[in-house]
Homo-oligomer: A and B are copies of this chain.
């Protein structure tokens, strides 16, 4: 079977590159992946997948960090002008840019799900000649949006996987679900798909990432150690007053924020694991001689475990409310991102290793590796495991031109074929597990 997979992917190879570079050129950030998602939906449908999209696969109130209505509308217009598939836009409109493609073999067998993410970062891509996407003309044409984390590759791998499976449907048992998720950056999107029930029927779940420091040719079967995290935006609203004339009439939002910030950082360590807290941005006040009536700050909490993160988060809420009470200001708190920690199912690792070992170009396979940072596919993994399924998070190594989130980030595109083959085998052999 791996021969067949290999030959299809070989033949598909130029198309994989074309896809990846097209998504790269029209980079779209979280919740505004209108063009990307519409192309994915349209393509999957063409290949015989049952396609669900928009509110079918995204629970509206479970979305986090959604941009303003005005921005959503403006971005949708732009997507249209850049080749979005018109028929699909109404379902994605308003920031419902998730797509799920289902391929049912009609034969008994497990439901196997794959999740890829589609969003770009808020970053201006380098125009330097030594940056390959710029030199080759596929650098992002969208100002301040760039695929600097490899989600363009993930989307291309997802499409490639769909193509292979549609060609080999006869070899498949059970069902396959391909989940194209929006807004992974800032860990904002996965929860809304989980809450919509997207993984409730899944037996085997695979998420993946390219790069992350792993060399080309190496496959990590189960990345572990993603930190549980919560992203929070806080706005304090007080009352302005002339600082010389009537300072007593003010309710000082800046002082409330300063006090909150200090006390947030003073939240105790937890004996159950490492924790982090950071207020990364603070803006407050309007003029030197005005009691500031406005302060806004952005913070994040992290923990080795979800329990540790919840502890920090819960204490942070006390501090944020308490500081507001001290100064009589109104607090508006938005959870704009959230991810759990989740370990891969140990039972699944040998299976993944077995598939990866059949793939040409794979030179090293490791069972597990400690990830850094956070990732919201953990939401899906936790839900699958809670319901009795197995889940893992694969990493496909590739050479990076510059680190993730750097304006000169770029990948060795040979990883695309490796990713497609490995995942395809994971789907095709699942009936034999």
Residues of A within 8 A of B (CB): 227, 229, 231, 243-248, 250, 252, 254-255, 257-259, 261-263, 265-266, 268-272, 274-276, 278-292, 295, 298-300, 302, 311, 315, 318-319, 321-328, 372-374
Contacts and interface: CB of A to CB of B under 8 A. Distances in A.
Nearest to A269: B247
A259 B299 CA distance: 17
Contacts of A265: 252, 255, 265-266, 268
- Counting every copy of the chain, the complex holds 4
Nearest to A326: B322
Nearest to A264: B266
A413 to B, nearest CB: 27
A interface majority secondary structure: mixed
A162 B25 CA distance: 66
Nearest to A241: B268
A299 B252 CA distance: 14
A315 B256 CA distance: 13
A255 B269 CA distance: 14
A6 B137 CA distance: 76
A276 B261 contact: no
A263 B259 contact: yes
Contacts of A245: 271, 372-373
B374 A243 contact: no
Q: In this complex, which of A227, A290, A299, A318 has the most chain B Cβ atoms within 10 angstroms of its Cβ? A: A318
A261 to B, nearest CB: 4
Contacts of A299: 288
A324 B327 contact: no
Contacts of A289: 278, 280, 300
A311 B274 CA distance: 16
Given A262-B258, A282-B283, A372-B244, A300 B326 contact: no
A339 to B, nearest CB: 12
A113 to B, nearest CB: 28
B285 A292 contact: no
A227 B244 contact: yes
A157 to B, nearest CB: 26
A343 B250 CA distance: 29
Contacts of A321: 325-326
Contacts of A275: 269
A254 B269 contact: no
Given A254-B279, A322-B325, A372-B245, A288 B300 contact: yes
Given A266-B262, A322-B322, A286 B280 contact: yes
Q: Which 9 A-B residue pairs are closest in the complex by CB-CB distance?
A: A322-B326, A243-B278, A265-B266, A322-B325, A281-B285, A258-B258, A280-B288, A248-B270, A258-B261
B261 A254 contact: yes
9 contacts: A246-B271, A254-B279, A258-B282, A265-B266, A269-B276, A280-B289, A281-B286, A282-B292, A321-B325
Contacts of A283: 282-284
Given A288-B300, A326-B318, A271 B247 contact: yes
A244 B292 contact: no
A374 B242 CA distance: 13
A321 to B, nearest CB: 6
Nearest to A227: B244
A237 to B, nearest CB: 16
Nearest to A261: B258
Given A244-B302, A248-B270, A284 B285 contact: no
